Amino acid sequence: MNSNVPWEVWSRERQRRIEEVLTRALARTALQAPETLGDAMRYAVLGGGKRVRPLLAYAAGEATSADPAHVDDCAAAVELIHAYSLIHDDLPCMDDDTLRRGKATCHVAFGEATALLAGDALQSRAFALLGQASIERAGAACALLAEAAGAAGMAGGQAIDLAATGKPLRLQELDTMHRMKTGAMIRASVQLGARCGRALAADEATALDAYAMAVGLAFQVVDDLLDVEGSTASLGKTAGKDAAQGKPTYASLMGPAEARRRLEVLHADAHAALRSFGTAARRLAELADWIVTRNS
Amino acid sequence: MNSNVPWEVWSRERQRRIEEVLTRALARTALQAPETLGDAMRYAVLGGGKRVRPLLAYAAGEATSADPAHVDDCAAAVELIHAYSLIHDDLPCMDDDTLRRGKATCHVAFGEATALLAGDALQSRAFALLGQASIERAGAACALLAEAAGAAGMAGGQAIDLAATGKPLRLQELDTMHRMKTGAMIRASVQLGARCGRALAADEATALDAYAMAVGLAFQVVDDLLDVEGSTASLGKTAGKDAAQGKPTYASLMGPAEARRRLEVLHADAHAALRSFGTAARRLAELADWIVTRNS
């Protein structure tokens, strides 16, 4: 693909690409799963989602001149972790949600027990892919992904979210929660994608991480604004549920206007962090724009 | 430690050792988890359990002359996967059990949502440890563990178990279920432990795997017999629950006497598989004896 194609073309091609990679990774012959379990895993992963994390991995790979074929496993692994977290997050004992990506949530479609196991098995599948990926130091990559997904990252952020429901939270605590809940996996997506290409100098790695942190928080601010301003139809998930569940959000804590101003600062931070990469970071910059301006 | 010490001394030393490794792996400073989540993870893992899988890893390490210090991360990783599976298995949507290792199950003690997340985060922790372990090809080790834990292994076996409750199952189907549900992780424990030492010839790897498969199935037959014959107090978990839940077991399918005969065959198979290793496989042989004769 010509590297000068517009963002829309590039991102659509990468979304198509990751769909194929995920389809292969979850194919019957690859999974060797009992039928219903395999169906639940495919149902939860395939044919939906914006694929933000895979796009981040591919875009970071572009910044380090990685062959997209070498990024595939990393991109799939981060999406599988994301998909598993959505299944578990939607369970009755968590958010108890019935709608996701415009269709019934996994436990509504397959029952709670199968949904629980499908989430568990998707987490395993992520490490099965990444562990045998054709990248250097695949073990270290697995450790990086595991830290981001685990108690100090995504799962920890969900635990804070759980404890915070119905309680007042300070802005700093909300930041901490989101840095863990969504930010950790967004950073991991960028780091893993970048590892697939040339080695980075320390200041380049720091810059990429600053980009990822800004984009991660921006992503969450947009999510909060959309939950207030969007409709269930356009989101493909239940709108207004944060407020209904008494969850603290940037919109509720700062007000939508102030939240929008914060979003602009984070957007600018993301672009500033990419400066030293020049045109190699084009896709990362465009991805930041896309995340900030998305409406679903 | 003198390599000629009796099994009781060796196994007690290794159990003490893995307790320390797990305690370090789940320490506050290592986990960086929100407090309640970290507490739930430690509650579910520490201070209980026979540590069969870590013992298998250490014993397999002895067979390949591995330094036990090099086996620690593998031994901890397999136990963390096992502990996570117990938490999720005990949840109301699964077996809905209230007693485990002689104390309240994790969701009874911490609530369902925290228990769900603790299980999720323990799975991640296993890969965080194994990914940075000081072994060769840590990525391949992660992939091996992930395959054993995932849809073609443990999680898949649980899905079959789920679907089989209350239905008649043929012996062959019961074997398949257990080969996945417990057997896959027992094989992984042996394989990972063995990888920590000298490289194995193909026939040696095959022999170790035959040992692991026999021991894995034997372990399950004993479990079924204990569920029928044991007491809740001696088991530290609810006795008789398989029958109460209408789950097919070796005891119910073959009758206890026939199940005992099958156990003897598997026991002999395990010993036969170790023959070519000579005295190096002493701990594996003793472990097979221990598994077959255990009463809790």
Is the residue at B184 inside a domain? yes
Tell me, what's the pLDDT at A237?
A: 65
The enclosing domain of B85 has a CATH number of: 1.10.600.10
Mutate to test the interface with B, among A28, A32, A37, A86 (most CBs of B within 10 A): A37
Is the residue at A1 inside a domain? no
Is the residue at B1 inside a domain? no
**Which residue's structure tokens are 């395990």?**
B270
Mutate to test the interface with B, among A117, A136, A173 (most CBs of B within 10 A): A117
Is the residue at A287 inside a domain? yes
What is the pTM for the complete model shown?
0.95
C-alpha–C-alpha distance, residues B153 and B145, integer Å: 10
Q: Structural domain tally of chain A?
A: 1
The minimal CB distance from B140 to the residues A85, A93, A131 is found for A131
Taking the CA atoms of residue B37, residue B40, residue B45 and residue B49 in that order, the dihedral angle to the nearest 10 degrees is -170
Please indicate if any CB of chain B lies within 8 Å of the CB of A144. yes
Tell me, what's the pLDDT at A251?
A: 87
Is the residue at A74 inside a domain? yes
Contacting residues of B for A36, CB less than 8 Å apart: 159, 163
Is the residue at B253 inside a domain? yes
Could you give the angle at which helices B184-195 and B138-149 cross, rounded to 10 degrees? 170
Tell me, what's the pLDDT at A234?
A: 60
Contact B154, B81 (CB under 8 A): yes
Q: At residue A191, what is the residue type?
A: Q
Residue pLDDT, tens place only, B40-64:
999 999 988 899 999 999 999 999 9
CA of B81: which chain A residue's CA is closest? A124
Tell me, what's the pLDDT at B128?
A: 98
Is the residue at B286 inside a domain? yes
- HSE-CB of B126 using CA atoms within 13 angstroms: 35
* List of residues 6+ apart from B192 with CB closer than 8 A: B57, B60, B74, B77, B78, B130, B141, B144, B145
Residues of chain A falling short of pLDDT 50: none
Residues of chain B falling short of pLDDT 50: none
Tell me, what's the pLDDT at B236?
A: 66
Please indicate if any CB of chain B lies within 8 Å of the CB of A200. no
Tell me, what's the pLDDT at B3?
A: 72
Full domain range(s) for residue A275: 7-293
Contact A183, A154 (CB under 8 A): no
Query: Would you state the structure tokens that stand for residue A209, as one six-digit string?
Result: 């991480």
Tell me, what's the pLDDT at A167?
A: 79
Is the residue at A272 inside a domain? yes
CA of B30: which chain A residue's CA is closest? A152
C-alpha–C-alpha distance, residues B156 and B151, integer Å: 4
